[in-house]
C-alpha cells in the first residue's frame, strides 16, 4: 500500500500534504518583490517591481489605480504588447465577484457573467465596474528611472523587459499568482 501511495504522489507531482510542485508566483507588495516559488521553496526573486499608483486593495474597482490583493491565475498571455509581454490575470475572480455582488457593487447579471466565464475556464469579463486587464508585464518603452522610483501602473505588476522574458519561462495559462 505504501508503494502505491508513493507511486501516486511521484507520478502526479503531489506531495503527501497535497502541495503541488508546479511553479507559482508570489508578489509581496510590501517587500516590493516578485518571487517564483516551487512548493514552498523560492526559486528566483525579482526586486525591481512596480505596482499600481494607488497602492493595493482587497476590493479594487475600475480606474482606481490599485493592485488587487488575493489569489489569481494566469488567464491569457500576450507575447507582444505595449509593455513588451503581458500575462493577464483571471481578475475579477469569483471571490471578488461574490463580494461585489453581496455589497451591491455589481448586479446579478454581471456576477453570473464573471462566474460562468471562470467556471468554463474562460477569461472573465474585463469591462465591469470591478475593472480588468490586470496582469504582470514588462516596461515596453516606459522610462526605467520612473519604474525604479515610483509605483506607476494602473493596477498591474511591472518588471523590466529583461525580467519579464526570464519570468515568461516559468509561466503558463493556469499558473497560480498570489498578491499580498
20: confidence class by pLDDT, cuts 50, 70, 90: low
127-169 confidence digits (pLDDT tens): 999 999 999 999 999 999 999 999 999 999 999 999 999 999 9
Residues 6+ apart with CB under 8 A from 85: 77, 78, 79, 137, 138, 161, 164, 165, 168
**Segments forming the whole domain that contains residue 24:** 2-91+131-179
pLDDT greater than 50 at residue 175: yes
Strands 84-89 and 157-158 come out as unpaired
pLDDT greater than 80 at residue 1: no
Q: What is the CATH number of the domain that holds 143?
A: 2.40.440.10
Domain total for the chain?
A: 1
Report yes or no on 64 lying in a domain: yes
Report yes or no on 141 lying in a domain: yes
State the pLDDT at residue 19: 57
State the pLDDT at residue 121: 87
Q: Are 62 and 131 within 8 A, CB to CB? A: yes
Give the up-direction half-sphere exposure of residue 172: CA atoms within 13 A in the CB hemisphere. Answer: 3
Give the span between the Cα atoms of 64 and 41, in whole angstroms: 34
67-118 confidence digits (pLDDT tens): 999 999 999 999 989 999 999 999 999 999 999 999 999 999 999 999 999 9
Give the span between the Cα atoms of 168 and 48, in whole angstroms: 16
Report yes or no on 108 lying in a domain: no
Report yes or no on 97 lying in a domain: no
Give the span between the Cα atoms of 155 and 88, in whole angstroms: 12
Report yes or no on 13 lying in a domain: yes
Report yes or no on 103 lying in a domain: no
11: confidence class by pLDDT, cuts 50, 70, 90: very low
Amino acid at each position: 500500500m505504501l508503494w502505491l501511495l508513493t507511486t501516486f504522489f511521484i507520478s502526479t507531482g503531489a506531495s503527501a500534504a497535497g502541495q503541488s510542485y508546479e511553479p507559482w508566483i508570489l508578489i509581496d507588495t510590501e517587500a516590493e518583490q516578485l518571487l517564483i516559488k516551487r512548493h514552498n521553496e523560492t526559486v528566483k526573486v525579482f526586486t525591481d517591481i512596480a505596482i499600481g499608483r494607488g497602492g493595493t486593495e482587497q476590493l479594487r474597482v475600475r480606474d482606481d489605480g490599485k493592485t488587487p490583493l488575493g489569489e489569481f491565475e494566469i488567464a491569457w498571455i500576450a507575447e507582444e504588447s505595449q509593455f513588451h509581454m503581458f500575462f493577464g490575470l483571471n481578475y475579477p475572480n469569483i471571490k471578488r465577484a461574490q463580494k461585489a455582488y453581496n455589497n451591491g457593487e455589481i448586479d446579478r447579471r454581471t456576477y453570473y457573467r464573471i462566474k460562468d466565464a471562470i467556471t468554463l475556464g474562460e477569461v472573465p469579463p474585463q469591462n465591469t465596474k470591478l475593472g480588468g486587464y490586470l496582469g504582470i508585464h514588462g516596461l515596453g518603452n516606459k522610462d526605467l528611472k520612473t519604474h525604479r522610483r515610483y509605483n506607476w501602473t494602473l493596477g498591474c505588476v511591472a518588471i523590466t523587459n529583461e525580467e519579464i522574458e526570464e519570468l515568461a519561462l516559468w509561466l503558463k495559462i493556469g499558473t497560480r499568482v498570489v498578491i499580498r
